[in-house]
Amino acid sequence: MTGLTVKLLAMIDALSVPDGGFSVDPVTGADVRSGYAAAVHTECERVLDHPVAVGDLIAYVARYADVLTLPGSVLGGWRDPETGKVYLDVSVVVSDYSIAVALAREAGQLAIFDFAAMESVRIEYGARVAA
C-alpha cells in the first residue's frame, strides 16, 4: 500500500467510531494535534449517512481542493455520536477556545473539536444546544 492509501484508511477508521474523526493538514498530510478545530466553510460541508469509503474522501478533496489550499485550511471529518452521520468539512484550527466557539456559532456548526481533551464540544445557541 502507498502512504496515501494508508493515510486514507486511517481517516476512514477514525470515522468508524462515535465522536471519531480527523483533522489533517491538506498540504503536509500531518494530523493536527493541538488547538480547537471549527468548520468555517459551510459551503464545503458534506453530511454522509453511510460508511465512508476511500472514494468519498478522494471525491471530497478533489471537489474542494481550491478551498483546502487556502492558508490555514484543514481537512476535517467527524462522526456525530448522536446521529451516526459523518461530516466532512474544511476547518480552521485556532489556539483560543472562545474564538473557536465564536467561529463555529457564526457558521452554525454543531460542535468544535478540542485536541487537548480529544473530544468534540457541542455548541450552545441561547438556551439550547445545537442538535
Query: Which residue matches cell numbers 481550491?
Result: 66
Can you give the pLDDT at residue 128?
42
pLDDT tens for the chain, 131 residues: list them. 778 889 999 999 999 999 889 999 998 999 999 999 999 999 999 999 999 999 999 999 999 999 999 999 999 998 998 899 999 999 999 999 999 999 999 999 989 999 999 888 999 875 444 54
Can you give the pLDDT at residue 125?
76
Enter the DSSP assignment of 123: P
Give yes or no for a contact between 48 and 10, defined as CB atoms under 8 angstroms apart: no
Q: Which three cell numbers stand for residue 39?
A: 468548520
Q: Which residues contact 51 (CB under 8 A, 6 or more apart)?
A: 16
